Structures are given as structure tokens and as C-alpha cells.
Structure 1
């Protein structure tokens, strides 16, 4: 019986690697998968591609390594930092949050005095690293440096709270699937992609190079189970979600039905997902060359793009079970 690998999940979720700076997480993932596949390589854009050879159809699985961040754009005379967003950063979530830079410098996000909370926007926020002057700040930080939200990864028997669950949890499911799976008739490409948060860029180039017959993305999705939350038929703890659509893709019926069939056949709980915003790597994969039938296996997650993204342990475990069956069997 599978037991959640808590230490690996914590390591993945707390490794600094915002979009465009995925070197550290790529190294962690490569060390986990290199002995499980026939070849591992990094393409020109930085995607990590683990190839488990087979004689059947090419199946590309993609989970993105990057996560959201804040890039320094200006340092004022008193040493406070202004920033631009890398990916979806919410002003209301960001206020008073701790951040950490690649060199270990820690700061906190503050806000200018506002007449009304309605006036809150990213350009009203700044990062305080404790510097007393521009010169002191420049000894620690340069223009263009990137920081990320800084918080712990906490795991108990039922749930996980962590920064960067989007999409380290997808990467985790892929790694654990490689460890759990048996023989496959498919020619499998496990892609750990870069720069998803800024436009699905890594998946686009990886898919072009691989030219797969089918594609499945692994990513988080929102839930509709919080008080007065969005009207969405996905909830925490009810199983992995099989996507029908989001703003980047209408999932191919052949792939969607195959995923549902494998869930039913193996008594794996699942949900159907219609997301009215956002997108995943499948949005880029399915438009590659002359087209790639694609789907998405989603892990229900509360508080996406915050310091405490929340997943249910049972959903993670069932996502691994389902992905194992998806890679072991052929899409007819």
C-alpha cells in the first residue's frame, strides 16, 4: 500500500525556483527520476524530460516546475524595493507576507497608507528587507532579482499546506508514479516544464520537440467547497479531478473518456472539472504542430497562489493511483 512520501513533498514545495529560475528544482527532480527511466535530458528552454522508452504511442505527461514570484524593479533612497509580478500575484494575499530571495535575503511585503482597502494594488506595495538606505539594499539585492513567498510546508494525516503546491504537487505525482508503475506499452515522456506561470512556455517547446500522440498535464485546480466560494463542482478530498475544460483547452473526448474509464475500472474516486478561468500545460500541448489530443489530471487545491496552498492527502494518493493506470494502459 502506498504511503505518502512526506519528506520528498516538503523538499519539492520549499525549493526556490520561480519561473525563469528553475535550476534548483530541476536538480532535485533529476536526482529522483534519473534511475527510473532510460534517459533524462534538459532541453534548450530548461525543461527536464525523463524518457521511459516503449514501443507504443508517445504519451507526454507534463507538470510545471516553476512557481509565482516577485521581481525587483526599483530600489528607493531608503532601501525599500518595488516589484513586478511573475505570474498571478494577488495584492490582498501579499500584504504582510514574508518573502525570500535566491541568496537567502528575507523581507516582508508592506503597503503604503491607503484611504480605502479598495485602493490596494501591486503598485502600492513594497518589500522591506530591513535596509536603511539604497546603498545598503544594493549590497543584498539587485534590479531583476526575484523573491518568492516564504512559509513552511506542513503535512498531517489528512492535508498538506505549502507554498508552491502549484505545481510541485503535479511534479510529485509524476515522480511517485514512476516509482509505482509497472510495465507500460506506451512510449512515455515525463516533462517537468518551465515558465508555465508566465504563459505555458516550457510545455510549448517540449511538445514541439517530442511530437507526442497524446498529452496529459498534471496541475492544481480550484475548489468550490469553501463558504460562499465559486460555483464549481470540485471539492477537497473527493478524488482527483478529470478536466473537461478551462480557458486554455477543451479536453479531447478520447483522452477524457480514457481517464474516466481507468478511474471506474480501478475503483479510484474522481471528479469532473469545468474551470471557468486559468489554464495548464495542456493548453500548449494540444496546439502543437498538427494537434495533440490532450487532457488534464487535476489535484483539487484551496487558496491557489497563496503562501498556504492546501491539498488533501487522499486526493494526492488517488492521483498517483490513477496516473499509474493511465501510463500503464494504452489510449485506444
Structure 2
């Protein structure tokens, strides 16, 4: 196990950074990647862009990972100090009940719900956060309306497995840091993009691609693993290596780029899974940017995504970094 990779995942996953409020994650990533690149900047959307210049005649390659996590926003506070919420991103109500959360203000709370007769009647309208306040005034001293909360907790290592909240997609961010540190000189100019608001719409990757004007783009994300009980449409597993996403609800991988990634995996002896995902990705937002961008998505399989107990295998993340390094050393012919 790469201890540095583990520490990067742990450090990034503990940072508060829901969609639209990614500044703390942005600042941490900026400090970590700056020594490995030639230029670091932030665009008007809040994406962090770090550029490693290549040789003349090389391609412009965008490597992207969204840095936000799902959460909830404070809508109203009752006279008894209970905070009612609306979801921000992919937080599901059945995943949220009983979970501890942390607010942007630093306040801690627990998510609970009003009495319902049947589980099917549970909705976000009945979900609230209890921060231990006795009155509305006391609650508002610690949490303002419009403040956001995310699931709280630390990432634990169980051998090669990591378990905790925030792995989607801080794992992808950690992989990009590994690539940046180990890249060295290469033929291509690489633009590392840590994007905002990947959990809502998503939007950040499209803005990053517009500004970067890449010849190709590879997005690194986390996706539900096929070995999670009840997931029958996905043929991936933890420990089987990163997965090349061939298709999802709005995206088709570029055939030439997918073939080059598969060739890089074979040449490097890197296990590569293939998947067709029932859910979406940021791939569909990048592909049509400008004159069109050949795009691929590399998934790191995760069990129980969106919960406080996400589970992934660090070997898959490490193999994803190895795959990208091999890919970046190749001449890119997308015919």
C-alpha cells in the first residue's frame, strides 16, 4: 500500500467542501500540487487548474477530477432549534438518517427525521439536523440559513481497503496528485483540473475544458462497484483495477481514446476493468465543448457511494495513477 496515497486520501476526505463551497479543498490541493507543475490558477467558476508543460509538438491533455462532495443546505430553523434541509448534490435521505454531519461554521449535528408510518414516506421534507440547540436563536448562532453540512467522519484503512465518507471523489483528486508528482518531463502538456460542482448538474468540468482547450480529456471519478449487493448492471469489483467507462446515461467514450487507454494498460501490465454505468458522469459535459473533445472516464470502484461508509481499494487508485502515467508517455493518435 502506498502510505503517501493513503495519507492524501485521508487528508482530502476530511475537508469540508460541498458543491459550490469547495474553497478549503481547493486551497489544500493548490498547496500540494504547486511544487510539481509550472502554473497554477483558478478560473471564474472556482476550478483549480495546474499546468505541466510538455514538449513542442505534444498534445494538450486535460486530467480532471471533481473536488466537491454532496451535502445539504439549511432552509429553516424551528423554535426548538431543529434545522430543516434541502439536498445539495447526490445526498439521499435514506443514506442520511442517523448520520453525523459537520457544518461550514464548524458546528456538529446529527440527521434525524419526523415520525413516518412507512419508510416509503420518508423524504427530505421530514429530515432535520439536531445540533443540540434548545432554541431557534441558539441554533442560528451556530448555523446560519444557507450554511451547508456534509457527512462527518474519518477514513479508516482496513488493509488495502479504505472506508469512510468523502471517497467520491477525493480518491480521484488524490490520484491526480500522484500523477503530478511522478510525471516528470513528457511529450504532452498536462492540465490538471480539480473541478467545482461535480455533484450538481455537473458543471465544473465543462468550464475547465472550455478554458483549457484540450486535445483530449480523461476524467477520474468514483462509481458504484458491481460487487455491492443489488447492483446487477455493473461488472466491476473492488481490487480489480480501475474501470474504463464505455457508456453511461449521457456519455459514450471516444473509441480511439478508449483504445489507447486500453493499450496503455496492457503495455504496463495494469489490470483494467470495463463498465457501462446506469448513472451519469461529467463526461457528457466535456465532450461537446468547443469543436468537441475526445473524452474518456476512468472510474475507481466504490461500494456504498454517498454514505458515511464508502469503501474502496487503494490498489485500484494506485493502478489508476499508473495507467495515466503510462498513457501520458504515449504518442496520442486518436484515428
TM-score range for the pair, normalised by the shorter chain length: over 0.9
Contact 1:69 1:148 in 2 (8 A): yes
Alpha-carbon shift at residue 156 of structure 1 (Å): 3.1
In the alignment, structure 1 segments of 5+ residues that lack a partner are none
Give the Cα separation in 2 of the matches to 1:168 and 1:149. Answer: 14
Match of 1:180 in 2: 182
Contact 1:62 1:203 in 2 (8 A): yes
Match of 2:151 in 1: 149
Match of 2:90 in 1: 88
Root-mean-square deviation (Å): 1.3
Give the Cα separation in 2 of the matches to 1:269 and 1:81. Answer: 46
Give the Cα separation in 2 of the matches to 1:137 and 1:85. Answer: 19
Alpha-carbon shift at residue 5 of structure 1 (Å): 2.7
Match of 1:317 in 2: 318
Aligned residues: 331
Q: Does residue 298 of structure 1 match 2:299? A: yes
Match of 1:285 in 2: 286
Q: Does residue 161 of structure 1 match 2:160? A: no
More moved, 318-327 vs 59-68: 318-327
Give the Cα separation in 1 of the matches to 2:240 and 2:287. Answer: 27
Alpha-carbon shift at residue 2 of structure 1 (Å): 5.5
Contact 1:182 1:328 in 2 (8 A): no
Alpha-carbon shift at residue 157 of structure 1 (Å): 2.2
Give the Cα separation in 2 of the matches to 1:138 and 1:79. Answer: 8
Alignment of 1:1-332 (within 5 A): 3-54=3-54, 55=56, 56-280=58-282, 282-332=283-333
1:14-42 CA distances to partner (integer Å, 9 max, x unpaired)?
Answer: 01111111110111111111010110001
Give the Cα separation in 1 of the matches to 2:229 and 2:223. Answer: 17
1:88-146 CA distances to partner (integer Å, 9 max, x unpaired)?
Answer: 11111111100001221000011111111111111111111111111111111111000
- SS across alignment from 1:83: strand
- SS across alignment from 2:199: helix
Alpha-carbon shift at residue 277 of structure 1 (Å): 1.5
Alpha-carbon shift at residue 4 of structure 1 (Å): 4.5
Q: TM-score, normalised by structure 1?
A: 0.97
Q: TM-score, normalised by structure 2?
A: 0.96
